[in-house]
A = this chain, B = another copy of it.
Amino acid sequence: MFTRIDHVGIACRDLDAAVAFYRSTYGFEVAHEEVNEEQGVREAMLRVSGTDDGGASYLQLLEPVRDDSPVAKFLDRHGEGVHHVAFGTGDVAGASAAVAGRGVRVLDAEPRPGSMGSRIAFLHPKDCGGVLTELVQAAGSGPDPEGS
């Protein structure tokens, strides 16, 4: 059902500085940047490797663009660091339903837009051993009820 660590989401106060750190220290390059207005973040995806399901693993660097965004609140409480872990799946709606059936609260009743055209759902960290967990269906993979 879950085929890869799609990404590790990392909260930072200065996206450009974080990108510069990961590039200069480890050689990771930016595959994509975007602003997600709904989540209130500016983000960069740094590709680490391809995976055996044909997908890839990324670091997702997240800078809040408004003070009331979840990532801004995380930074206020915890400071910079790991914000969430995301698992890749070919069917985020099916995987969300399966996980919900096992007693985990799914925070998104319907999958919503994630990075790079993906569809995502978040799980409640209190049901996941303190780990804010995201399920990701990459763009162009798996079923798409909107037919886009």
Q: Quick one: closest B residue to A125, CB to CB?
A: B81
Smallest CB–CB gap between A52 and chain B, Å? 4
- Kindly report how many copies of this chain are found in the complex they form together: 2
A35 beta carbon closer than 8 Å to chain B: no
Q: Which of A1-51 contact B (CB under 8 A)?
A: 1-5, 8, 10-12, 18, 21, 24-28, 48-51
Majority SS of interface residues in chain A? mixed
Taken together as a complex, chains A and B put the C-alpha atoms of A130 and B85 apart, in Å, by 16
Cβ contacts under 8 Å, A145 to chain B: none
Using a CB–CB cutoff of 8 Å, the interface residues on chain A facing chain B are 1-5, 8, 10-12, 18, 21, 24-28, 48-53, 57, 59, 78-82, 85, 87, 99, 102, 104, 125, 128-131
